[in-house]
Amino acid sequence: MTEEPFYAKADRYTQNVQEGRVTKAMPALLNTPFGRAERGVAMYVGPNVRFVIPISDALRIATQIADIASATTKPNTDHKDTE
């Protein structure tokens, strides 16, 4: 994970907020090139599947989000580093 904060372009703010309101994650199965199914997570924006990722990647991303959220609730946290 990078130590540099991520900044979204200002013109994407409204789109990100609107998509966030209609985004959901659902269980999925990924078909591997080896003919077996692997557990995954499908990300929907509205009724459309935007992408599907393996469960290991979904758990890693969820852990990073939880770490950031936890850091923002600690006293003496510089919030500009987590925006």
Query: Which H or E element spans position 7?
Result: none
Strand-pair partners of 53: 41
pTM strictly above 0.85? no
Nearest to 24 by CA among 60, 50, 61, 6: 50
pLDDT grade for 54, boundaries at 50, 70 and 90: very high
Establish how many alpha carbons lie within 13 A of residue 36's alpha carbon, considering only the half-sphere containing its beta carbon. Answer: 3
Sign of the four-CA dihedral 45, 47, 49, 55: positive
Out of 21-35, 44-58, 62-76, which region has the weakest mean confidence (pLDDT)? 62-76
pLDDT grade for 38, boundaries at 50, 70 and 90: very high
pLDDT for 21: 92
